[in-house]
A and B are shown apart, each in its own frame.
Chain A
Amino acid sequence: MTPSKISCRQSFSRALCNIAQKNKNIYVITSDSKGSATLENFEKAYPDQFVEVGIAEQDAIGIGAGLAKTGKRVFVCGPASFYSSRCLDQVKVDVAYAHSDVKIIGISGGVSYGALGSTHHSLHDIAVMRTLPGLAIYLPCDNYQTTAITELLANYSGPAYMRMGRNPVADVYTEASGVVFMPGKANKLHEGNDCTIIAAGEMVQPSLGAAMLLEKEGIRVRVLDFWSIKPLDADAIVSAARETGLIITVEEHSIFGGLGAAVSEVVVQTVPVPMKILGLPDEWAPSGSSRELFEYYGFTAEKISDQIRSLMKCKQRK
């Protein structure tokens, strides 16, 4: 796969600039975060559609909700860590409960900020956001998908949370593939019936890599890109359970409450099959870059494939 020169946040900002040119109702709010969200160009091009609130995430969400109630479609953009915790009450009440037209764009999610440490990691965001009725949750895995989801958000009138990573990522999708993303519909990236990997965000790439490695050994792994964590594609989960009998979820999130939990909630209530939830364990991460942490916690194609090999052995023994 070709490593992209740009990061998802840059694709997001490009896409939003294009959309804002035609749609004057598109607003951006930042909280001293326009640099990290790469929205300086947006501010320059559309100063009347841009609001800076200073380092005040609670205020940003409240102002966003207020603006939305005057007919704007508001994108509040800043670090995922702070937007999923500092202002959670505003997100719950003013955005989700009030069904406001606010899109919360969590940048540098997961362990993107690396050695800046746990204050800056968002490994809890999916867990908390998932419990808020009516709030859509999307995790793009590459630039093509980020652009597509940004367009989707720009055409949707309800509340949503999109979480992106900080660093440039390899392409999973190409322009030529022409894949269309529908909320609540997972995308099958690799066929297989021996087991299924369900992944989201930056974990899609190494999961696909693991499937490629295992294919050489004759293990056929189904890989599902669960970019839409809410709404969740329950049908794809049920089929995976029925047809492959073993599900491994991979996420840059706590093993509690995230994608793995969402999938297992469906599995145990429909077609119970063995599952493995790969994510960050219940501990504060050591100091290190996101790459080092991926390595340490086993988020590489090699280490994911190791996990699957041993799970497959257990499956065959049964």
Chain B
Amino acid sequence: MYSVEQLKYISTDIRKKIIEIAHSAKGGHIGGSLSSVDILVALYFNIMKHDPSDPSRLDRDRFIMSKGHSVEGLYCVLAKAGYFPEAMLSEYGKFNTIFYGHPTLKVPGVEMPTGSLGHGLSIAVGMALGAKRDKATNRIFVLMGDGEQAEGSIWEAAMAASHYKLDNLVAIIDNNNLQISGHIDSVMRLSSLRQKYEAFGWNVVEIDGHDFHQLTEALNTTPWKAGMPNLIIAHTIKGRGVSFMENSASWHHKVLTEEDFERAMDELNHSEKEAI
């Protein structure tokens, strides 16, 4: 188990790496990567049973990145966790590498190729159902976006998860209130996510998605109720950690200028010093 301080330090380091690889690739989806980082760090460093030296171990916990566009965050976390050398990340954005702009099975540690939104929860339901039928004790985690909740397939999966009493399934929503076109509620109102999932038979917990105490507590204690699937609504800030990106829809997939890059790295270096 890492301490909260250590997790914070790792997260800041990963934020820097995200900015670096997005900058060198002249692309990427930075905003959503930065809002998901702390969730991913909590999962890969403190919560999940997994073995980077044997990514296909049968008893592993599984993670599906349904919001596949936040791929820089996933790549940097997988590297830091030891699935492949961090130095390989410099290949991101180059021709003919394993690092596409969305996760693929070419990258060690990736369970499923994602990028077309709205697929992850169904896949996780399948994995959780398989584990149940095999009487396995591993857990299945899936991370979705809040804009992504507009995809109808998610609600089909939500229904199946409670129908099959998949308490080994832990869904997390990166609730940063933004999508490409702006505020979630101006694009397609979500109203109460909690009530919607509760009505579908889920147990729902709301936390601050950047607070490692709350993340660890919520993620460590499932199933919260036997026979019910678990949903964590993680309140997050899109672009978290770089002041000029925070809560700004344009940083969904904006490309960093040289000046943006310097400023972002300065801020993150500063945060890193504070974390020590």
**Which residues of A are at the interface with B, using a C-beta cutoff of 8 A?**
30-36, 52-56, 58-59, 81-82, 85-86, 113-120, 286-289, 292, 296
Contacts and interface: CB of A to CB of B under 8 A. Distances in A.
Contacts of B148: 55
A119 B188 contact: no
B117 A286 contact: no
Interface residues of B, number: 30
A117 B100 CA distance: 6
Given A34-B181, A56-B152, A120 B117 contact: no
B99 interface: yes
B100 A54 contact: no
B116 A86 contact: yes
B214 to A, nearest CB: 27
A255 B39 CA distance: 42
Given A32-B179, A32-B187, A287-B100, A116 B115 contact: yes
A119 B115 contact: yes
Binding site secondary structure of chain B: loop
Contacts of B181: 30, 32-35, 52
Contact of A117 (B95, B102, B118, B188): B102
Contacts of A292: 95
B179 A55 contact: yes
Interface in B144-198: 147-148, 150-152, 179-181, 187-188
A59 B188 CA distance: 12
Nearest to A295: B95
User: Which 7 pairs from chain A and chain B are nearest by CB?
Assistant: A54-B188, A54-B150, A119-B115, A117-B100, A116-B101, A286-B96, A288-B95
A53 B115 contact: no
B269 interface: no
Contact of B147 (A32, A113, A114): A32
A120 B148 CA distance: 16
Contacts of A288: 95-96
B46 interface: no
A133 B41 CA distance: 50
Contacts of B180: 32-33, 35-36
Interface in B77-131: 93-102, 104, 113-118
B113 A287 contact: no
Contacts of A56: 150-152, 188
A116 B187 contact: no
B115 A120 contact: yes
Given A119-B68, A119-B114, A54 B187 contact: yes
17 contacts: A32-B147, A32-B180, A32-B181, A33-B180, A54-B179, A55-B118, A55-B147, A85-B116, A114-B101, A116-B100, A117-B100, A117-B101, A117-B104, A118-B104, A118-B113, A120-B101, A296-B95
B52 interface: no
B227 interface: no
Nearest to B98: A287
A32 B152 CA distance: 15
Contact of A119 (B25, B94, B116, B151): B116
A9 to B, nearest CB: 15
A296 B95 CA distance: 10
Contact of B95 (A53, A58, A120, A286): A286
